[in-house]
Structure 1
Amino acid sequence: MTQESRWLSDREQRAWQAYRRMFLLLNAQVSRDLAQQSGLSDPDYDVLSNLGSSPDRRCRVSELAERMLWSRSRLSHHLARMEQRGLVVREECETDGRGAVVVLTDLGLRTIGAAAPLHVESVRRHFVDLLTPEQIEVFADIGETVVERLTDAEGRRPGR
């Protein structure tokens, strides 16, 4: 027995299409601003900001990959490029000889420190300042509801 498709209503279709279009256009604009203003890509910024908010500006590579929803291989390749630019270094994990820790360098810290205010201004200009406080609250609730459904208790995607 096949289940009949539950097609989207006009209202649901409008919401879904608005989200998809907003997601693509907003990400593209904020990414463009980030690259033009700081020379960083989105992945660069994500790595630097994650490390900047980590204790001692360091994090296990496996944990960082999980936070960023990346494979360890993809992150490792990206970290190699960031190491060449002097933004991060990798060290052996003191408690596990097989693991690696990525550390934010002083240059990396200065880079994220200079980029963050410009990035936040871009997010404000293209998203936050366009919405009312009530819309921001509803948007946050919606995002948290969907993320909760798509992740487990530790914030990881099931099946990974």
Structure 2
Amino acid sequence: MNTASTGSDAGTGGEPRWLGDEEQCVWRSYLHATRLLEDHLDRQLQRDAGMPHIYYGLLVLLSQAPRRRMRMTQLAKDAKITRSRLSHAIARLEQHGWVRREECDSDKRGQNAFLTDLGYEVLERSAPGHVAAVRQAIFDRLTPDQVKQLGEITRVMAEGLQPEGTGADLPWRR
């Protein structure tokens, strides 16, 4: 629906604040671009490394962690995914020998994910192609000012979508 904004919020019981024509255009353009980007990166990583983008992101997070280990709960939080999705992804990465689960020394109920040497080698081999795909899809198309603006915009968006407090319904808490 594309009705002029009434200024009230649906959350307060009033009419929804419909997107204006320009907002609707920007929203659809954003959705289109982000879906194409995710597909572009997924295809590149599947072709070059045999893994989806989400798995690559997990390997990167583990490679940057001290001793290439991270608590599963922290990994889910940093990856912005549910614990269930993380558990499934780690199981697949374990099948390839790229990651191993370990008991957590400080909390016997918790588990760590550990990036194996083989997983690190896979990451090293796939990183150049991935960064080339990111650069080609985003940074080579934007001016330096646009890159700065994109960074500022996405930071503001992310801050608004990650409320503090224990009651927030965030993926890694599910």
TM-score above 0.5: yes
1:141-152 to 2 correspondences below 5 Å: 141-152=152-163
Cα RMSD between the aligned structures? 1.9
Percent same amino acid among aligned pairs?
39
* Structure 2 length-normalised TM: 0.85
Match among 135, 147, 169 for residue 124 of structure 1? 135
Q: Is the 8 A contact 1:31 1:41 kept in 2?
A: yes
Match among 119, 122, 135 for residue 111 of structure 1? 122
- In structure 2, list runs of 5 or more residues that go unmatched: 1-11
Tell me the CA shift for residue 73 of structure 1. Answer: 2.2
* Structure 1 length-normalised TM: 0.92
SS at match of 1:101: strand
Q: Is the 8 A contact 1:60 1:93 kept in 2?
A: yes
Residue type of the alignment partner of 2:168: P
Higher relative contact order (CA 8 A, sep 6+): 1
- In structure 1, list runs of 5 or more residues that go unmatched: none
Tell me the CA shift for residue 3 of structure 1. Answer: 1.5
Superimposed CA distance per residue, residues 19-78 of structure 1 (whole angstroms, 9 cap, x where no aligned partner):
011011111112111111121211210110000011110001111011112222221122
Residue type of the alignment partner of 1:128: F
Residue type of the alignment partner of 1:158: A
The corresponding residue for 1:21 is 32
The corresponding residue for 2:75 is 64
* Counterpart Cα distance in 1 of 2:109 and 2:168: 25
The corresponding residue for 1:37 is 48
SS at match of 1:4: coil
Residue 157 to residue 105, structure 1, CA distance change in 2 (3 Å)? farther
The corresponding residue for 2:18 is 7
Superimposed CA distance per residue, residues 99-147 of structure 1 (whole angstroms, 9 cap, x where no aligned partner):
1111000000000011111101001111110010111111111100010
* Counterpart Cα distance in 2 of 1:39 and 1:117: 15
Q: How many pairs were matched up?
A: 159
The corresponding residue for 2:7 is none
* Counterpart Cα distance in 2 of 1:104 and 1:88: 5
1:158 aligns with 2:154: no
* Counterpart Cα distance in 2 of 1:2 and 1:52: 47
